[in-house]
Amino acid sequence: MATNMIINNCQQQGSSLIAIHSSQWSTGICGCFDDLPVCCFAYWCFPCFACTTTSQFGECFCLPLLDVLWTALQAVGVPSCTPPVSMAMRSAVRNRYGIQGDMAGDCVYATCCNMCSWCQMAREIKRRSQTVTVINSQPTVLANQQFIMPIQQGVISSQPIMSSAVSQGVMTSRIM
């Protein structure tokens, strides 16, 4: 099971930040009871589920619909290969999150356990994209600080401009 943990040790000497991250899937291929709503969504409306999962991963929403052709060919008895989008998504999720495995395993899971594979990917995307909260064990006092934003004339940019005034100790950020 994957472990994501942040430890913030603030001591007199300084502070250290430690991140622990696993290179394994956070749930097994048949771990539907780890996140039951995900598996119910996949069971009742698999095409919508696959499209939503792909979108949450940052890919084109309609990409899994290409696998519908694969499913149709299988249903009429035409032998075909592994569903290409399912295998590509599984490999991409594994590569993005640094999960151990290989293409042969991805091929077997995408071909033989396609729905379970999609559920496992959805659980992984959901767990790895959660916001990490750092808890500081030392009391922190925030002083009343004033922020100075100097006006820059003649600068036209479609990108945010980040500048820092090191001598004044002031950090400014301005979007034009």
Give residue 125's Cα distance to chain centre: 5
Radius of gyration of the chain (CA): 23
pLDDT digit string, tens, across residues 80-133 = 778 889 999 999 999 999 999 999 999 999 988 899 999 999 999 999 887 666
Residues paired with 163 in a beta bridge: 172
CA distance readout (Å), 135 to 63, 168, 171: 39, 30, 25
Q: Which range among 68-72, 133-137, 141-145 has the greatest average pLDDT?
A: 68-72
Domain locations in the chain as residue ranges: 5-128
Q: Name the packing angle between helices 84-96 and 67-75 (round to 10°).
A: 130
Other CB atoms within 10 A of residue 108 CB: 13
| 64, 54 contact by CB (below 8 A) | yes
Of 143 and 85, the structure prediction assigns the larger pLDDT to 85
